[in-house]
Structure 1
Amino acid sequence: MKKMNWLKWPLEHYPITLLIVVILFVLGIYGMYVMPKDEFPHATIRQGVVVAVYPGATSEEVEQQVARPLERYLFTYGEVNREKTTTTSQNGMCIVMVKLNDDVNNKDEVWSKIKHGLNTFKPQLPSGVLAIVVNDDFGNTSALLISIESDQRSYRELKQYSDDLSDRLRRIPSVANVKLFGEQKEQISLYVDRQRLQAYGIGQQMLFSRLQAQGITTMSGSISDDDQQIPIHIETM
């Protein structure tokens, strides 16, 4: 019977037990109303990506000439977590997944400092390195996806509608960012009728020269390996 002693006191002091239950119930309702609520709660994302583009370089060249110096430079910042920062080298680029320390609260200030420092550091890399791109905007999520399509409008008109809609959405104070996806690029395809050219006394070389004079960009081939294919373009001056 000793095991049931813990039930004896609440049963014998029923009014006190009921009062405690009522107090806990009231506190629960009060806490439900005063507890902070947020549809999009703030979360500090302490990760970012640094990408260095080095066209034409092999993965070994990228690692030796770009990835290692870049990694050493990033580690000069005390806010960067060395153990959780990883680097991947591949043909033409290297990708550094940067993780900040858990005690970093103002990540925007840290990333602003890193971006400014990378602009100063870039001249120390080979001249073939085109750019160092930093992306630290991992905390933003898409809240609304809007699709624009039409069977009667051209891609140019749809692009104009999309731009107009984007401009209107950006005026809304609660909208942080607007991005467009799926934009169709325009191109002009020329199909030459050789017999007609000969009838008008126009050679293909003359036609090509006239097009070049208008600023046309021609593709002169490509360089390919196991990982990627890089087109070669010749731009007219």
Structure 2
Amino acid sequence: MNLPRYSLDNAKVIYFFLALLLVGGLISFGQLGKKEDSPFVIKSASIVTRYPGATPEEVEKLVTEPIGREIQSMRRVYKITSESYYGLSKIMIELDPATPADEMPQMWDELRRKVLNIQPQMPQDASPISVSDDFGDVFGIYYGLSAGEGFTYEEMRGWAQRIKTALVTVKGVQKVTLFGEQSGVVNVYVSLSTLNNLFITPSEVIQTLQAQNTLVSSGEKLAGEMQIKLIETGTYKNLDDIRDQILTSSQGRQIRLGDIARVE
């Protein structure tokens, strides 16, 4: 049976376009961009505030509700959920799923401005409001830093920070975070019975250490055309300075801190 010529011509055209689409699809797939750790945007943030000593009802009334009312006026807010515990307030804010990814930094900046506006209205003993919006961070490479004997934690921390400073300038690196840092602390071990015998309270020891190590502006002095900057001394430079701190009892007796306490 002979088919009409126009049917054969139509079939050829259809097969030609199918072949063209197949070849074009293969070429496009080969040129498709690929990433091992592709970026994605999480449109949620958490707001945490601590209010030590407060009941859940007090936290809800004095902390959670004022913050919630303030951030409700933000653009593109989709949902706000909150939880109030003993001494702790947690608020989760979710933005509209249709929010463009390139607009997210601006939205989080707006959220932080709202938080700064409400901060002065927080109770006196409440902590600063903490905003976390980095849930979508992806770490593609982990490095472990180790050192042999003779290196202190402070030296290792310094080298880690130098490496971090160099890595953030590498093209394609968005964020570098250090984990396991050993922060330096000073521990003062003192017997409460010894303090009682000397008529000194632990709060007086704390206040003395805090006041001694406070940086204050001592002003300037004009001497003709010269401007002389006055610098206060007396801040702690090492552990021996802390041990040499003089404590004064309520009876006027002076005691060296290192004689009654162990400073490490």
TM-score greater than 0.5 by the shorter chain: yes
Q: Given the superposition, is the C-alpha separation of residues 188 and 215 from structure 1 closer, same or farther in structure 2, using an over 3 Å criterion?
A: closer
Task: Please give the secondary structure, in 2, of the residue aligned with 1:94.
Answer: strand
Structure-1 residue corresponding to 2:160:
162
Distance change >3 Å, CA 15–CA 111, structure 1 → 2: closer
User: Partner letter of residue 57 of structure 1?
Assistant: A
Partner of 2:250: none
Query: Is residue 24 of structure 2 the alignment partner of residue 27 of structure 1?
Result: yes
Q: How much does 1:59 deviate?
A: 2.2
Alignment gaps of 5+ in structure 1: 1-8, 193-203, 217-237
Deviation at 1:41, TM superposition (A): 3.9
Q: CA deviation at 1:77?
A: 1.8
Q: Which runs of 5+ in 2 are unaligned?
A: 1-6, 191-196, 213-240, 244-264
State yes or no: 1:112 paired with 2:109. Answer: yes
Query: Aligned to 2:57, which of 53, 56, 60?
Result: 60
- Partner SS for 1:134: strand
1:87 pairs with 2:101 = no
Please state if 1:122 is matched with 2:119: yes
The CA deviation string for residues 23-60 of structure 1, in whole angstroms up to 9 with x for no partner, is 34312212213444444444332111111222222222
**Closer, same or farther in 2 for the Cα pair 1:14/1:100, shift >3 Å?**
closer
2:98 corresponds to which of 100, 103, 108: 103
1:66 offset after TM fit, Å? 0.7
| 1:20 Cα offset (Å) | 5.3
RMSD: 3.3
Letter in 2 for 1:91: Y
Report deviation, 1:19.
4.2
Please state how far the C-alpha of 1:62 moved relative to its aligned partner: 0.8
Deviations 1:73-94 (A, max 9, x none): 211223211xx32111122221
Cα distance, 1:18 vs structure 2? 5.7
Counterparts of residues 14-53 of structure 1 (less than 5 Å): 19=16, 22-53=19-50
Whole-angstrom CA distance in 1 between matches of 2:31 and 2:38: 16
Aligned-pair CA distance for 1:119: 0.8
Aligned-partner Cα distance in 2 for 1:139–1:174:
17
Taking every aligned residue pair, what percent have the same amino acid on both sides?
A: 25
Task: Give the corresponding residue for 1:77.
Answer: 74
Aligned pair count?
Answer: 191
- Cα gap change, 1:103 to 1:57, in 2 (>3 Å): same
The reply on whether 1:138 has 2:135 as its aligned counterpart is yes
Which residue does 2:260 correspond to in 1?
none
**8 Å contact from structure 2 (residues 45, 132) kept in 1:** yes
Summarize the Cα distance change of 1:58–1:156 in structure 2 as closer, same or farther, 3 Å threshold.
same
* TM-score (norm. length: structure 2): 0.61
Q: Measured at CA, do residues 34 and 181 of structure 1 come closer, stay the same or move farther in structure 2, by a change above 3 Å?
A: closer
CA distance in 1: counterparts of 2:186 and 2:94, whole angstroms: 45
The change in CA–CA distance for 1:29 and 1:133 in structure 2 (over 3 A counts) is same
